[in-house]
Structure 1
């Protein structure tokens, strides 16, 4: 017997939320875009990376 304020045991108390909003391929694509823009803004396009 359950009281009106209790939830049944098979009902989750909070909805499940995704931890990450993007998939891995979406994240990689976004990072490529961001770094491309960053390189253009900072003028480092075509320069070798420092070791």
Structure 2
């Protein structure tokens, strides 16, 4: 019984780790047009 629980916990942790890495490196958010750093003259540099 303990082996089943350990396997469930290991695969859950592995899935969460892969989900985190996927979100961090591959899930790109669309940048808003008012983001500072463009040529919008916001003067925040």
- TM-score, normalising length from structure 2? 0.46
Larger RCO, structure (CA 8 Å, separation 6 or more): 2
Higher helix share: 2
- TM-score, normalising length from structure 1? 0.41
